[in-house]
Structure 1
Amino acid sequence: MSFNLRTLFSSAFAVIIILLTALLIFVIGSQSTKSVEKSIGGSLAEEAYQMAEKLDHFMWSRSGEVEVLSKLNAFQEPYDKAEISGLLNQLKSSLPVFTWVGFLDPAGNVLSSTDNILLAQNISQRPVFQEGIKGLFIGDVHDAVLLSKLLPNPGGEDLQFVDVSVPIYSKQGQVTGVLAAHLSWEWSREVEKSILAPLKDRMTDVEVLVISQKDDTVLLGPDRLVGQKMTDEALRKARNGENSWIVEKQKGEDSYLTGYAYGDGYLNYPGLGWSVIIRQPAEIAFASVHQLERFIILSGMAAAVIFGILGWFLAGWIARPLNAISYTADLLSSGAADAEIPSSSLIKDVAVLSASLRNLVGNLTKTESKLNYMSDMALHDVLTGLPNRAALEEFLALAVSKAQQNRTTLSFLYLDLDGFKKVNDTYGHAAGDALLQQVAVRLLDCTREHEIVARLGGDEFVVILHTSAARPMYEAEIVAARIISKINLPVMIGGHSLHVGCSVGAAVWTPDGADTSETMRLADEALYISKRSGKNRITFEAAS
């Protein structure tokens, strides 16, 4: 069977365009999906980590307040019930999250309590007393039927609480009672709002779930899921201590792009093992990719039709130059980078076709450049242009290998701006953003090209330095002092001279030491020591 030149020519053009379109869809779809998954998934994982940390930080703060209160002289024998009652009510007034606070004797009788609720009643059979008399007790989320009936509850919904209790010792070291508190679980909604509010500006249909380690039930999340058990793959990974993201298929539901993190405590607070899952329907997360694929399909089909018709009418006049064009097209499809579509000045229509093919190749090149740009953006912080957490992980993998070969060290500087919140509150977030950009420039001025300055979020930054094996702490301290000095300099923004400080926590990784995540944790702990010690200083973690 034979075909005339016009049929072959037009058919060939149509097939070529369709194949190029299919290849383009495969390449762009694959790369864009990976890029979007990494960008959005990384954002969800980071938000999950921050929420887990906020939950643990809150519980650490409240348990610490109860411990401090229990050591006051007012709780020593003989008891001054009026003073104790005043202290308890003052605590509730200052921190309404303390729904009920009571002072119990060693037998479990309530001697004093906020608003006199449960006064003179015996609660010795409740975990808050039984566990609290042994030592510091922090109980998981639970219902309190009796207390719910006695507390104001305009909404009528079931009240849930988290328990904190500690034993009270006399000056002779004997247990003289228990200080017990019920914290309303409603505070977790405020944490949820603080996480969801910025996410809703960038994403839609995002869900936040907090899951109990005790029975795998959803403690916080959409109403349809609260109280239900979760057995998702993301939960299993979070329980293993991972902080990342996956695309998972729910039973009978759509797929989700899910970020997850595990609450493993804060400082000396061991945590209750809450797992945080933040997810978005995959159909929404990858909507931009699907839209791009549909556009490429339509564009490719339109191009196939146009070039097929053009080939039909021009085949009789462009047989010879067409052969040259076809030959060059074959070279391009085989990967020849220096090949160029030939032009023809003898036949105007052939020149047009040649130009069209040139534009097609140019558009493919531009598309590839855009893909590379999107990949680069996924590794950088949008506001400051600094590397983000994902880029930091890639850098550490190479830096560790290099340090192991050279038997040198890596110094981690974990820093946080002192007074940044005041700038945001006083001059607005736009001024705060501009300040962060100036801080990024100053941090880069303090480091060398083969080192990294990364922004982890908010006003937190990490600097990784290549230091010697002999004096890493001395070398790191010089850089940290230079950073603190530069950041202390005033910044002019919007006609205002703004001042912030910088607290630095430092730790040194050695080839024979722990992994870099442990060194990062030590530097983070050292940062909080700097903040508690007066701020605007550097502290080396002793364990490093």
Structure 2
Amino acid sequence: MTPLGQPSGTAERRSWTLGLRATVAVTVAILVLGSAVVKGLVVGDGAADALEQEIGDSMTGLAQSLARQLDSTMWARANQIAALSRIEALKDPAVAQSTIDELKRRDPTIAWIGMTNSDGRVMAASGGLLLGADISSRPVHQEGMKGLFIGDVHEAVALRGKIPYLEGETPKFVDVSAPLQKADGSPVGVLAAHYSWEWAHASIRQLTEPLSDRRDLTLFILSVDGTVLIGPDQTVGKPLPVATLTARLRDGWSADRWPDGVTYVTGVAHGRGLHDYAGLGWTVIARQPANMVFAETNRLRLTIIGSGILLALLFSVIGWFAAGRIARPLSAIADAAGRIGHGERGVAIPDVGGVTEIRRLCVSLRDMVDSLTNKDAALMRLEDIAYEDRLTALPNRRYFEQYVEASAGSGGGSATVMYIDLDGFKPVNDRLGHDAGDAVLRQIGGRLAGIFRGDDVIARLGGDEFAAVLPRRAGHPAPDAGELACRIIAAVNEPVSINGEKVRVGCSIGIASWPEDDGDMATVMRHADSALYQAKRDGRNRAVRWTRVE
């Protein structure tokens, strides 16, 4: 335990009676007026920063929401195709055709869905598109034969003009395909779907409709290589004009100047995939012009400065009177606390009047001083109880084990270890009762405590078992373990008087040395225990020094 120390420094005693009142009044006036002026000057920047932070967080949140929605949609579509590919009946082109037609009817985001055989020939297709065509060279078939495949956004020239709502433009799709397999796992074909990129536009509209009040809000969706998939018309199909945004690895926001010369608050989020779907590496960017941040700030400056002048006068007067009620009791408390801090004995925190909080402070300080004064003694007593054997007043097993662990972990030194076990104790316990046995243990514990040196540790491990560690001190000869063992045996052999009857017990001792017998203290303890049992086998009431068996 570390005792409570004296204060490391001294505090200058101050007279609060007049000084505090004047200080409070002047300080309040300066603070209020200064705060008003400073706030009036910097409120624009502060408000701008706060609004910029708010907009930046909302941009990041919007981008993250869209990224999660895109990932969630792709995960659902991939699971749908993967589940359908495991239906045995879909290997039949007729069944596959009816299933495909129903799926196309129910899900308008499916631009095309079909089933191929192992050679890549389309055996069933929605609307009959590409039926009989060879798509074996396409990734949707090649990768689908290997396992579940999710392809990034791409153009499908073969379907130009064949899908009514995309007529006149080159449609863009996201591919999903999965193998149709035999019972042995070998693929016999592929179930493949082209999902129209229109669902991504629908996701953006769904997210941005509640934000119609956000002026000039723009969203971008980028492919894994940084190409703009969705964004303003002039940017689609090109790299994002601000390269630093695509290089950012973490979600977040920043204020960036774009090529049009406008600074935008820009939020960036990355698609992380969902569950077992790793994602396609898409990046979502949401931006809004930063100039709107400053629209409301200038109006606040004059209001704050004008009101600050009036408040400075009012609060300085109030502070003058309020400080008087606080200063007097605080002065008394501070004086007493200073004397206590300098170690002066017999000083108590005074019971002062004043406001309720000061009276509570006074009571709390008195209780704290009393608690701190008595803490050391109480903690030391609790620690003694935790580590003391209640019967013999020797250290207990818990203390002994922690002592041994600390000694072994100190990285040096040496010690002799003894295990001591009483011989003939059980018959005394059985014949005379546990009270007599406890009396024997108490007397034996006292004798053992008187034999060892002051820095030796002798502990009762439990029952009639004791253990001792004898550290070897630098510059002093090592204790003669044999001679000490003889003294222990002789002391234990002395008769013990129990209710007028003299009883005798003996003891067996096992001895080992650290680090001579082993560098690991736990192993040395086991060696000493083994030597103890050897002493028991050799006839008891003797000591055995552990030796290595060659």
TM-score by length of structure 2 reads 0.48
TM-score by length of structure 1 reads 0.49
